């Protein structure tokens, strides 16, 4: 399937230009000293054009080729149907090139990790130093993982051994993430297994079960931005993912996605663009959409909010907030329905005081709007029923800012709600916040 999210054709004088969306491999955004260069050179592009022409049987001469944030191929060819056939073949060739030159950027415990396939083996080749010294979720996950690498990593964090941290982080990604099949392109994409109690995909999944949403715009390894359509493919597409900022496409997983009821927004390039994902969901007729946005891209909430109109509801989830700047925080404060605090200083200082409810204390989820509370209330009620078999209603909870703000606490097999003024200081929170 070729979507117009990946290319368009426009007239430029007497000529026609095909403009393709390419991957944004701006590695310097995450790694100050990474030397990998843009692999899509003019020589490679010439080769892809030849391959596309041979496969489509359509030979087009391009008088001008431009490689920038996008690819632009300009020709005197006026037959639009021929150009569209060529564009489809070119995208297949481009997809194969990106798949052969596989890279990913993920994030764990505030560290950005660069994954690259070399000599047929995918491995973590670069990790940035951890910006935080302690995180309760990090400790819990490492204890669950166990093993020599996890134990050494915990010790390196406690001792402040930065050099060992980055080396052990790469080892942990190799063992747990890659070894666990998270980038396995033969993996299934339908699963109802919840990984954490109050994660974004878990909250979206229960919203699907209750009919509160009919589509979710999320991100998945080897697929980029996707539109999911039910609870199982929402949960299955992400598993226990902690942030994805760049990924390479997989033709096999793309086919699996279509069979699983998932719509890849950029099927040939696996680009990540949540704003474009929401636009596509709306164009396909979805009206109740949840979207998750990570790190600095939370600034896209400004544009996503402009898409809301009568008959359309968009639930906006702000994720991966550790280290965000004030512009991203401002967009989250103004437009987000739910914000995961992570170890973000600006979220705790600016967003938390404006929340009308909160889930948890160590790494709280801040409910910013009544829309957000609707999803949280639904998640609480369905989770309680799944746990105990009993129906419980949280409709009587009054959301408000300030000392009376309701805070949801998890007590083994049930939830408890107290006013924020009754909270004790958190002694097991991430630190330092950045």
Query: How many residues are given for the chain?
Result: 434
Is residue 253 located within the same domain as residue 401? yes
Give the least confident one: 205-214, 235-244, 392-401.
235-244
Is residue 145 located within the same domain as residue 161? yes
C-alpha of 115 from chain center: 16
Predicted confidence at residue 153, as pLDDT, reads 84
Is residue 139 located within the same domain as residue 205? no
Is residue 252 located within the same domain as residue 377? yes
> Mean of the per-residue pLDDT values for the chain?
93
Is residue 279 located within the same domain as residue 361? yes
pLDDT tens, residue by residue, 171-185: 989 998 899 899 999
134, with CB counted inside 10 A (0-12, 13-18, 19+), is middle
- SS3 per-residue string spanning 91-126: HHHHHHHHHHCCEEEEEECCEEEEEEEECCEEEEEE
217 is a domain residue: yes
188 is a domain residue: no
pLDDT tens, residue by residue, 2-14: 668 999 999 988 8
Pair 220, 226: CB distance under 8 Å: yes
Its domain, for residue 114, covers: 104-178
C-alpha of 160 from chain center: 29
Instruction: Kindly tell me if the per-residue pLDDT of 69 is higher than 70.
Output: yes
433 is a domain residue: no
183 is a domain residue: no
136, with CB counted inside 10 A (0-12, 13-18, 19+), is middle
Query: CA-to-CA distance for 173 and 169, rounded, in angstroms?
Result: 6
Instruction: Kindly tell me if the per-residue pLDDT of 141 is higher than 80.
Output: no
Instruction: Kindly tell me if the per-residue pLDDT of 303 is higher than 80.
Output: yes
Pair 254, 271: CB distance under 8 Å: no
**What global pTM score does this model have?**
0.96
Is residue 248 located within the same domain as residue 214? yes
Q: Give how many domains the chain has, as a whole number.
A: 3
């Amino acid at each position: 399937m070729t979507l117009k999210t990946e290319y368009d054709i426009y007239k430029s004088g007497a000529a026609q230009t095909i403009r393709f969306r390419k991957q944004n491999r701006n590695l310097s955004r995450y790694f100050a000293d990474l030397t990998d260069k843009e692999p899509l050179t003019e020589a490679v592009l010439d080769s892809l054009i030849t391959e596309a022409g041979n496969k489509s049987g359509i030979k087009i001469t391009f008088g001008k080729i431009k490689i920038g944030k996008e690819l632009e191929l300009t020709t005197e060819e006026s037959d639009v149907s021929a150009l569209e056939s060529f564009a489809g073949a070119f995208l297949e060739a481009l997809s194969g090139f990106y798949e052969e030159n596989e890279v990913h950027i993920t994030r764990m415990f505030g560290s950005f990790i660069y994954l690259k396939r070399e000599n047929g083996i995918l491995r973590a080749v670069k990790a940035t130093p951890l910006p935080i010294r302690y995180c309760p979720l990090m400790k819990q996950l490492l204890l669950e993982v166990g093993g020599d690498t996890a134990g050494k990593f915990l010790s390196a964090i406690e001792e402040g051994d930065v050099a060992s941290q980055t080396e052990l982080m790469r080892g942990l990604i190799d063992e747990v993430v890659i070894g666990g099949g998270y980038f396995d392109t033969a993996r299934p994409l339908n699963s109802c297994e919840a990984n954490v109690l109050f994660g974004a995909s878990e909250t979206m999944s229960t919203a699907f079960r209750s009919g509160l949403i009919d589509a979710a715009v999320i991100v998945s390894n080897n697929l980029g931005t996707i539109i999911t359509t039910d609870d199982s493919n929402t949960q299955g597409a992400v598993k226990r993912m902690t942030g994805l900022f760049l990924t390479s496409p997989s033709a096999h997983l793309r086919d699996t996605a279509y069979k699983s009821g998932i719509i890849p927004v950029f099927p040939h390039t696996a680009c990540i663009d949540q704003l474009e994902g929401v636009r596509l969901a709306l164009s396909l007729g979805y009206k109740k959409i949840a979207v998750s946005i990570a790190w600095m891209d939370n600034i896209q909430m400004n544009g996503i909010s402009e898409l809301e109109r009568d008959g359309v509801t968009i639930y906006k989830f702000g994720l991966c907030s550790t280290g965000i700047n004030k512009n991203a925080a401002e967009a989250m404060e103004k437009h987000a329905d739910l914000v995961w605090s992570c170890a973000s200083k600006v979220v705790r200082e600016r967003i938390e005081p404006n929340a009308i409810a909160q889930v948890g204390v160590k790494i709280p989820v801040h409910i910013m709007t009544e829309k957000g509370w609707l999803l949280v209330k639904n998640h609480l009620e369905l989770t309680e029923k799944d746990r105990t078999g009993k129906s419980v209603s949280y409709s009587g909870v009054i959301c408000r800012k300030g000392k009376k703000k309701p805070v949801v606490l998890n007590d083994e097999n049930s939830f408890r709600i107290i006013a924020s003024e009754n909270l004790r200081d958190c002694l097991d929170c991430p630190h330092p916040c950045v």
